[in-house]
Structure 1
Amino acid sequence: MTSPGRDRLRELLDAVLDEDNRSLADMAGDAYASPFHFSRQVSGGAGESPVALRRRVVLERAAWQLRHGAPVTEVAFAAGYESVEGFSRAFARAYGRNPSSAAPGGKRDADWLPAPNGIHFHPPSSLWVSDEPVRRGGDEVTALLVHHGVEDTRGLLELAKGLPDEEYRRVRAAGLSVLPWDGAEETLAAVLDHLVWSLEVWVASLEGADTPDHGPDDAAALLDRHDAVAPRWLAAVRDVARRGAWNDRLVDALCDPPESFVLGSVVAHVLTYSAHRRQLARHWLREAGVAVDAGDPIEWLSRRDR
């Protein structure tokens, strides 16, 4: 039985796509269900049999690996095929071309095959659950908050560059933790670092990139990191808005255990905790003797419109 709060969709998909589960019996055993019951659950929830779902997503992963230069033989065996010939036949049936003709580049969904459920491979090791585009309005407000967030963060980093290191790293709230999994944020340095790091991690997840390296946290370095990630974050949110994809779901295998996230909730999460951390940074900059504005989006937009 699934315990309260568990993501049953993720559990079923994990069982279907686990590298060690090559048969329906393996998948069902991993999900603590009989093959018959497991097949009914997956087919009923996803509109696709477990075997067909696994085969399609594995081929999508193979197409992505081939476009990024992996050898056909390596990809074939990683996909669970016993021979390159068998893999090549399956790939050609699915894509209408030989695996050796895969071209580099392309968008995130370039390798997606037709699916009845919107479940697709999302590189490097995740799933993307696509929803039909539904316009819900409010995109303009979201865009304003996102732009204000990145520009406001940049302004705070510029102010922090002028602080002596002992002020920048002074413990100002012993034991403070904004989010339990992020650790302590007792200093201005830690709060500003988490502002940038949060964007870096979420952008990597949305782009299908590996978890980024955590760079240095002095204010000048954070400014460079922010200037590198901010345009990518803006582009990612614009893409979600353009496609009306706020209800698309990313199943992120980089989490432990993997979790599924609705894209709209990801943007809301970033905006919420960015605003909180920016106000903390303002309070501590004032404590350090730095004059700083209120961070009001009304004032920010008024200045931009002058």
Structure 2
Amino acid sequence: MTGRDRLRELLDAVLDEENHTLAEMAGDAYASPFHFSRTLSRDAREAPAAMRRRVMLERAAWQLQQGSSVTDAAWAAGYESVEGFSRAFTRAYGRPPSAVDAGSGHWLPAPNGIHFHPPTSLWVQSTEHAMNPLTEQLVAHGLDDTRYLIDVAKGLTDEAFRAQRLPGLVVLPWDGPEESVQTVLEHLVFTVEVWLASIEGRDLPERADDPDAAALLARHDAVAPRWLATVREIDRRGGWDDRLVDALCDPPESFVLSSVVAHVLTYSAHRRQLVRHLLRTAGHEAGTGDPILWLRARRGETSGGTPC
């Protein structure tokens, strides 16, 4: 049996609709879960659970393009709820499943060129441009972590949410004071909104004077997938050194796109940890925000403890 045949057997086990767990995939390939995961991760450069989730989303995107309902696509992809499917799809594609059209592609960035090929096959692309995994993880983790923190903040009372806990704190001079959970979270969301508007050539986004956590969550959910899609597009066309002339500045300024993304990532990371500190002072634990733990959870990995 050739190595290529064995890899194909492993891939078939990953994508078999009857196999929902690592143990079921491994059993179908006549291997132990440990050996199965190690071999596939080595040969295909992607963990089995992550590959299955990605290819199932690719198939769902193709089904939606053919006229399938969101509900049917969600069940076919193995999701237990339409809401969970919609969140995963939006996070992966940068747009909700309801916004898919016939002209959209269905492939997602992959480390190995392995993709769903309709109606039931796989396609292995010899060369593929996928966004640098570090950039992809930094952007996606930042967006997911921001959403998590806003969700935690929904558990605060209005008074605790708006309380000035660090009087006089200023992260960036032009942004003004960030003394409460509310103001730090609002700056996290608005930073992405305003840079996305600049890149897309839109007007300055509207900004509520006194948003609650639910309003911030709605704003974040609207802008996050668009920001991820924009960064992916910059990377796809190799536009990191392109210059943006930002007419929203007075007077207009020019910025290198790579520096814009680096700016958003840098101050997002700082503000997220700042929010964690403020939440703890309000009696709410919000985890560490460690990207190692985030990636393990996203890939469905259960092994490994807290990073030492």
The 5-angstrom pairing of residues 129-278 of structure 1 reads 139-215=132-208, 216-278=210-272
How far the C-alpha of 1:257 sits from its partner, in A, is 1.6
1:62 alignment partner in structure 2: none
How far the C-alpha of 1:258 sits from its partner, in A, is 1.3
Q: Deviations over 1:236-290 (max 9, x none)?
A: 1010010111000011122112111000000000000000000000011111111
Paired with 1:281 and 1:168, the residues of 2 have a C-alpha distance of 11
Aligned residues: 171
2:295 alignment partner in structure 1: 301
DSSP 3-state at the match of 2:255? strand
How much is the aligned-residue C-alpha RMSD, in angstroms?
A: 1.5
TM-score by length of 1: 0.54
Q: Runs ≥4 in structure 1, deviation > 3 angstroms?
A: none
DSSP 3-state at the match of 1:225? helix
How far the C-alpha of 1:138 sits from its partner, in A, is 7.6
Q: Deviations over 1:124-160 (max 9, x none)?
A: xxxxxxxxxxxxx982201100000000000000000
1:284 alignment partner in structure 2: 278
2:53 alignment partner in structure 1: none
DSSP 3-state at the match of 1:194? helix
Q: Which amino acid aligns with 1:282?
A: R
DSSP 3-state at the match of 1:260? strand
DSSP 3-state at the match of 2:207? coil
1:133 alignment partner in structure 2: none
Q: Gaps spanning 5+ residues in structure 2: where?
A: 1-129, 301-308
DSSP 3-state at the match of 2:244? strand
Higher-RCO chain (CA-CA 8 Å, sequence separation at least 6): 1
How far the C-alpha of 1:303 sits from its partner, in A, is 0.9
Q: Deviations over 1:55-102 (max 9, x none)?
A: xxxxxxxxxxxxxxxxxxxxxxxxxxxxxxxxxxxxxxxxxxxxxxxx
Paired with 1:249 and 1:263, the residues of 2 have a C-alpha distance of 6
Aligned residues of 2:131 and 2:235 also touching (Cα < 8 A): no
Paired with 1:286 and 1:155, the residues of 2 have a C-alpha distance of 15
Paired with 2:245 and 2:177, the residues of 1 have a C-alpha distance of 27
Paired with 1:253 and 1:227, the residues of 2 have a C-alpha distance of 25
Paired with 1:294 and 1:238, the residues of 2 have a C-alpha distance of 27
Paired with 1:271 and 1:184, the residues of 2 have a C-alpha distance of 20
Paired with 1:287 and 1:160, the residues of 2 have a C-alpha distance of 12
Identity score, percent: 64
Please identify the structure whose Cα radius of gyration is greater: 1
TM-score by length of 2: 0.54
